[in-house]
Amino acid sequence: MRVTIEVNGRETSADIEDRLLLVHYLRNTLGMTGTHWGCDTSNCGACTVWLDGLPVKSCTTLAAMADGRSVRSVEGLEGDTLDPVQQGFIEEHGLQCGFCTPGMMMVARALLDRDPDPDEATIREAISGNLCRCTGYENIVRAIRWAARKQAETGRSDREAEEAVL
């Protein structure tokens, strides 16, 4: 079947098998390897992307389900500068092996778009569907708090920045 999917603001089209997973469409068809493929069961969250603005696990989402829709991957976070979430992960050492990082960043960005000043409990709840085996989550929580503070300092949310470009 043929699908047309907007990925990070760019229209893509390809002939695919009906059973192709969105994570494989991104990684293998488009060569966008930022989205990690981990468990194939939606347990780890490394493959989290946005589908029409909502976080989904792309390892259990068929590419055909994204036909005619909008997908945003970790590659879509960065504009002219790093997204505050990306910068926060650097500043607060929110990654070690990096395997969970793309999914964590996508969940964190969705959280900050919804709640620009989340408390620790809210952050922990938001990332609870994403598994990290290295950090113990402390630095990830700090990274998201850092991003919230940075976003407040600049006075601009990710969505506002995105709309300014359009």
45 touches 5 (CB < 8 A): no
Does pTM surpass 0.85? yes
The pLDDT value given to residue 164 = 43
By C-alpha distance, which of 47, 56, 54 is closest to 24? 47
140 touches 94 (CB < 8 A): yes
How far is 143 from 148, CA to CA, in rounded Å?
9
Instruction: Give the pLDDT band of residue 157 (cuts 50, 70, 90).
Output: low
The pLDDT value given to residue 138 = 95
CB atoms within 10 A of CB 150: 16
When pLDDT is averaged across residues 16-43 and rounded to a whole number, the result is: 94
More confident residue, 39 or 108: 108
- Domains, the chain, with CATH or none: 2-76 (3.10.20.30), 84-165 (1.10.150.120)
Q: Which residue has the tokens 């402390």?
A: 138
By C-alpha distance, which of 57, 49, 50, 65 is closest to 1? 65
> Which residues 6+ apart lie within 8 Å of 70 measured at CB?
5, 6, 50, 51, 52, 53
The pLDDT value given to residue 166 = 41
By C-alpha distance, which of 80, 63, 73, 89 is closest to 10? 73
